[in-house]
Structure 1
Amino acid sequence: MDLHLAGKHFLVTGGTRGIGRAIAETFAAEGANVSLCARSVDAVAETVHALEAKGVKAFGRALDVTDTDALQSFIRDAAAKMKGLDGIVANTSALSSGDSVADFDAAYRTDLLHTRNAAEAAIPFLEKAGAGSIIAISSISGSEDYGYDGVSYGTMKAALFFYVKSLARHVAKKNIRANIVSPGTTYFEGGFWDKVKINDPKQFADTIAFNPMGRMATPQEIADVAVFLSSPRASFVAGANVVVDGTATQRIPN
């Protein structure tokens, strides 16, 4: 299926590894130009080079997404360099899952506030493009309680549901769509669940067994959904929370 993304420009936060990297590469595979940010200068440079090797334009910058000025300046600069902006994916997460003030502060600033700040910086460019997409990467941890040790992470992922729904209704008249993708457990080398596999094999095995599909997602499986939702092929999907979890969640959506 042609997603009609060739020549368009999409921006991904946390775009050098895991889900974010898969999203950036999938946009590029569809012929879209990609901008991305992450903390590591070397990782940003390597990812930009890899995307350019796919025949598209790429732009990257190392920054901390909790620095509002740096994040919004990057978005403005990326739009200027690529002569427009057609969509963003707010992917970065602190993966902060404890119950301390510091845990809540990190989750708030990284998972929730960076999404708001990225959206606000992007909206004028998306409106100018005539149509645009905002995707926030949340989690099934925002939908169901998987234990108090994940309370700060789940709380901010749940807050994204309200924010994006409200945002979607606000920007719909500008022909901008806002949606959420909520992954279940997602495995990649060097990621959170890879570390659990090494350090706590029982927890890893129990988590695998919890999912009726008997496995975790790959970053590519999450990316495919995020990129489709960003495309004109999903032109009437707005304000949605699309769960990609292999039936791990047990609630009935309402």
Structure 2
Amino acid sequence: MSGSRSGQFRPGGRSDVEGKRVLVTGGTRGLGEQIVRLLAAEGARLATCARTADDLRELTASLATEGYGPLFTRALDITEPDRLEEFVLATAERFSGLDGVVACAGGARGRGLEEADARDWSLTWEMNVGHTARLVKAAVPHLRRAGGGSVVVIASISGWKPGPQAQYGAAKAAQIHLAGSLARELGPDGIRVNAVSPGSMLIPGKRWDRMRTEEPEAFARFAAEFPHGELVAPQEVARVVAFLLSDASSGVSGAHLPVDRAQNAPTPGGY
């Protein structure tokens, strides 16, 4: 089992998310996986989706081995019309309702302004803002019937601190604004909406981890963007997400919470 698949969390008594019915998009890798693992360890009833069925099976088996589960899953592309909405409905039917959703899936297409085309901008927008809006719209009737609930939108440091690529930063900035706007719109129904902006996370096998091993000098320069000299761990972000899903955060809505260790520039190139 690779490092990113190993268990990272153990339950430490009763939690404010215990028994809560939560759907997480993009839950098989990176931050999404750590969110699912933490919520599973704390007793939530979970559903997640991803594009690859094998990844979903592997995660489900891993959680079962650690004594957690069952995990309700579906392989789908979040940009496909109606597929995400169908999964939200299926989850609500399986769990007899919903208490929370986490819009974690996302991504970017294209490179710099002169290289990226209109389709790159459109796909980047749909993976981030479009998917979030569709997820929340599909979940609202079920959250409302449950008497309210919590929506957590995973944005990015790139949404509020400038860095390339512009299409990604613009989409993440829109997610932050969307969370604030929806918090006002859905507040009368008892539905809280918050955005979390992770800093640059050190995830096994991903960009910064590869830089650490392949370009140690460049990585050291980048790590200097963090006052403590260490990048953010996805588990640190997952704990904030769990808090926002929990009853302990009942007074928090419309907030934008950076989890970036006071990171300065979001990329090695600086501002």
Per the normalisation by structure 2, the TM-score is 0.86
Equivalent residue for 1:63, pick from 76, 80, 92: 76
Aligned residue number for residue 176 of structure 1:
191
Deviation string 1:1-32 (CA, Å, 9 cap, x unpaired) is 84322222111111001100010111111111
Deviation string 1:63-116 (CA, Å, 9 cap, x unpaired) is 100113111101110111122111010001113362312331221010110000
Aligned residue number for residue 22 of structure 1:
34
Does 1:13 find its partner at 2:34? no
State the Cα distance separating 1:131 from its structure 2 match: 2.1
Which structure 1 segments of 5+ residues have no match?
none
SS for the counterpart of 1:210 is coil
> Residues of 2 paired with 1:72 and 1:196: CA distance?
38
Deviation string 1:36-56 (CA, Å, 9 cap, x unpaired) is 001111001111223344333
Aligned residue number for residue 103 of structure 1:
120
Once the two structures are superposed, the pairs formed by residues 1-254 of structure 1 within 5 Å of their partners are 2-53=14-65, 54-96=67-109, 98=111, 99=113, 100=116, 101-146=118-163, 149-197=164-212, 201-249=216-264
State the Cα distance separating 1:193 from its structure 2 match: 2.1
SS for the counterpart of 1:126 is helix
Aligned residues of 1:97 and 1:153 also touching (Cα < 8 A):
no
State the Cα distance separating 1:57 from its structure 2 match: 2.9
Aligned residue number for residue 8 of structure 2:
none
Q: Structure 1 or 2: larger helix share? A: 1
After TM superposition, which residue ranges in structure 1, 4 or more long, deviate above 6 angstroms? none
> Residues of 2 paired with 1:123 and 1:38: CA distance?
21
Paired residues, what number? 248
Segment drifting more, 50-59 vs 133-142: 50-59
Letter matched to residue 150 of structure 1: Q
* C-alpha spacing 1:249/1:68, structure 2 compared with 1 (3 Å): farther
SS for the counterpart of 2:82 is helix
Deviation string 1:215-235 (CA, Å, 9 cap, x unpaired) is 111110000001101111000
State the Cα distance separating 1:157 from its structure 2 match: 0.3
* C-alpha spacing 1:203/1:68, structure 2 compared with 1 (3 Å): farther
Aligned residues of 2:98 and 2:143 also touching (Cα < 8 A):
yes
> Residues of 2 paired with 1:48 and 1:82: CA distance?
17
> Residues of 1 paired with 2:213 and 2:119: CA distance?
26
> Residues of 2 paired with 1:231 and 1:68: CA distance?
31
> Residues of 1 paired with 2:153 and 2:196: CA distance?
6
State the Cα distance separating 1:201 from its structure 2 match: 4.6
Identity %: 38
> Residues of 1 paired with 2:135 and 2:223: CA distance?
34
Q: CA RMSD in A?
A: 1.7
Aligned residues of 2:98 and 2:142 also touching (Cα < 8 A):
yes
Per the normalisation by structure 1, the TM-score is 0.92
Segment drifting more, 42-51 vs 126-135: 42-51
State the Cα distance separating 1:194 from its structure 2 match: 2.5
> Residues of 2 paired with 1:95 and 1:213: CA distance?
28
